């Protein structure tokens, strides 16, 4: 990539946009080593003299092994929420996130303030990474309204990447591997954000088998056949795989379906204990940040514009309904005039009940004048009026007696 010194304001704007920090949202099942992974990448960035901005969104964690710039526990008391609302652990986490999501505008304000260049300290390096730790209960964060609000708000301001942390030793069988892949697939299509699969704990078991299964269909089929022969799916003992045929067929179908899904992922094997693979992880982050700007950001802007257009149309429909409701008694004699919007300090004329009475008198006079003009017009055309018709009918009735 050729480097050039910006010679115009537009070039400077592009350069500042290129330095926009990347938000890394770490999600993973309980026990996958997600918090330890957060600690490792935080320490790595500090060692590179690039301190990140750290956000902790887990209200139930007791001790965090890294310093957080924004901590949900400073705003919401998880145990108090459970006590007041009579909730269990998952309900307490969900409600705490819902309460914290009401402050999302303040969170974005702090992020934009801290990531912007400081005029008072021009030599200070701007923040390049935002790290977000989430609860171990993935569904509580990913599938909740508060999680969606937080993710969409973050993605609307910064390039956002999902780091899905997987426990590698527990994913060595084809069934648990496929379960993790399906979970990752659901998260990807729910968040609609670029994703990196982080196979953690490679110091215990190397993640090369997982990479091979994702890129080589035949290798996964061989592993699937071996699991069936070893009765890994609870089939009939003695090597008869007919009892586990359904499970094998399901996993085979899933592997075919996810082949396209694998093409959109970056796979990295890391060890949170030794630091192995961390450099490779941040290379994947840069790739996904570029992918976000190229592919995801236009889609997010399109969805945002679509929501704004739907809101505008909804407001117009409400105004139309209101105007029809005001005109139920007949068409207004003139278009109503909307008064100027006043500030709260301006004087407003007090309301008096007599105003309504005057309006009623005016309406009555208008109706009487309209009736009189109608009868006069009918007489001018030589036709009997309604009053004359009534008098003639009365005469006939009297004469018949």
Question: What CATH number should be reported for the domain holding residue 79?
Answer: 3.40.50.300
Mean pLDDT on 20-28: 93
Q: Which residues contact 289 (CB under 8 A, 6 or more apart)?
A: 22, 159, 161, 194
Instruction: Report the distance separating Cα 171 and Cα 3, nearest Å.
Output: 43
SS3 state at 268: strand
User: Against a cut of 0.95, is the pTM above it?
Assistant: no
- What is the per-residue burial (b if ≥16 Cβ within 10 Å, else e) of 36-52? bbbbbbbebbeeeeebb
End-to-end CA distance of the chain: 113
Whether 393 maps to a domain, the answer reads no
Concatenating the DSSP letter of every residue in 88-149 gives -HHHHHHHHHHHHHTTHHHHHHHHHHHHS--TT-TTSPPP-EEEEE--S-HHHHHTSHHHHH
Query: Tens of pLDDT along 217-274?
Result: 888 888 888 887 777 666 544 444 444 567 778 887 888 878 878 887 899 999 999 9
Are 88 and 82 in contact by the 8 Å Cβ rule? The answer is yes
Whether 136 maps to a domain, the answer reads yes
Whether 344 maps to a domain, the answer reads no
Whether 158 maps to a domain, the answer reads yes
Whether 347 maps to a domain, the answer reads no
**Total domain count, the chain:** 1
Give the torsion sign (CA, 337, 342, 348, 353): positive
Whether 380 maps to a domain, the answer reads no
Whether 184 maps to a domain, the answer reads yes
User: Residue 220 sits in which domain range?
Assistant: 22-229+253-303
- Examine the pLDDT at 325 and tell me if it is beyond 90: no
Whether 368 maps to a domain, the answer reads no
Q: What is the pLDDT of residue 227?
A: 82
The DSSP call for residue 172 is -
């Amino acid at each position: 990539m050729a480097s050039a010194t910006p010679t115009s304001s537009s070039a400077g704007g592009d350069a500042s946009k290129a330095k926009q920090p990347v938000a890394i949202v770490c999600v993973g099942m309980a026990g996958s080593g997600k918090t330890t992974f957060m600690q490792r990448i935080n320490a790595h960035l500090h060692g590179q003299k690039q301190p990140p901005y750290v956000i902790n969104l887990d209200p139930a964690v007791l001790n965090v092994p890294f310093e957080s710039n924004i901590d949900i526990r400073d705003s919401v008391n998880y145990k108090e929420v459970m006590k007041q609302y009579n909730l269990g652990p998952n309900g307490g986490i969900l409600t705490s996130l819902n309460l914290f999501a009401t402050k999302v505008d303040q969170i974005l304000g702090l992020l934009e303030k801290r990531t912007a260049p400081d005029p008072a300290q021009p030599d200070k390096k701007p923040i390049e990474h935002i790290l977000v730790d989430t609860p171990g209960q993935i569904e509580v964060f990913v599938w909740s309204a508060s999680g969606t609000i937080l993710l969409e708000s973050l993605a609307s301001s910064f390039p956002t990447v999902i780091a899905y942390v997987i426990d590698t030793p527990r994913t060595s069988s084809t069934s648990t591997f496929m379960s993790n892949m399906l979970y990752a697939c659901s998260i990807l299509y729910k968040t609609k954000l670029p994703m990196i699969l982080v196979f953690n704990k490679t110091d215990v078991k190397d993640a090369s088998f997982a990479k091979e299964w994702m890129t080589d269909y035949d290798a996964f089929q061989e592993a699937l056949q071996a699991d069936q022969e070893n009765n890994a799916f609870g089939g009939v003992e003695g090597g008869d795989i007919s009892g586990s045929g359904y499970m094998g067929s399901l996993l085979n179908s899933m592997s075919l379906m996810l082949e396209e899904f694998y093409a959109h992922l970056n796979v990295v094997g890391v060890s949170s204990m030794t630091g192995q693979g961390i450099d490779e992880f941040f290379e994947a982050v840069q790739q996904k940040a570029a992918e976000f700007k190229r592919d995801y950001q236009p889609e997010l802007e399109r969805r945002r514009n679509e929501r704004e257009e739907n809101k505008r149309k909804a407001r117009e429909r409400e105004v139309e309904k209101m105007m029809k409701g005001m005109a139920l008694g007949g068409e207004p004699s003139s278009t109503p005039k909307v008064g100027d919007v006043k500030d709260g300090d301006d004087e407003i004329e007090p309301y008096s009940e007599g105003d309504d009475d005057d309006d009623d008198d005016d309406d009555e006079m208008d109706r009487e004048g309209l009736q009189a003009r109608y009868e006069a017009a009918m007489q001018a055309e030589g036709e009997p009026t309604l009053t004359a018709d009534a008098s003639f009918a009365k005469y006939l009735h009297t004469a018949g007696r």
